[in-house]
């Protein structure tokens, strides 16, 4: 619902270059990959043609 509202509200704003889906989530959990993959697919359905990003907090030795 949050992603749908964000895209509906901001899709035509001239300063929106891409959609950001998260900021430093707990992405090290095994379930995170499926969750973020589904969220990205859903976002692409709503707003095709615009890049998608999310920020993770990881170091070179813990990044998966």
Looking at residues 8-12, what average pLDDT do you find? Answer: 89
- Please say if the pLDDT value at position 12 is more than 90: no
- The pLDDT-based confidence of 62 (bands split at 50, 70, 90) is low
**In terms of residues, how long is the chain?**
64
Would you call 42 helix, strand, or coil by DSSP? helix
Q: 38: Cβ–Cβ under 8 A, 6 or more apart, which residues?
A: none
- Residue 5 φ/ψ, nearest 5 degrees: -65, -40
pLDDT of residue 30: 78
- Positions marked catalytic: 24
Q: What is the pLDDT of residue 60?
A: 65
18-45, pLDDT tens digit by residue? 998 887 777 777 788 888 899 999 999 9
DSSP H or E segment with residue 22: strand 19-23
Which sequence spans correspond to the domains of the chain? 2-55
């Amino acid at each position: 619902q949050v992603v749908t509202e964000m895209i509906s509200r901001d899709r035509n704003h001239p300063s929106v270059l891409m959609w950001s889906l998260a900021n430093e989530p707990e992405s090290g959990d095994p379930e995170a990959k499926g969750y973020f993959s589904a969220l990205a697919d859903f976002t692409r359905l709503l707003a095709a043609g615009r890049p998608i990003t999310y920020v993770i907090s990881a170091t070179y030795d813990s990044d998966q």
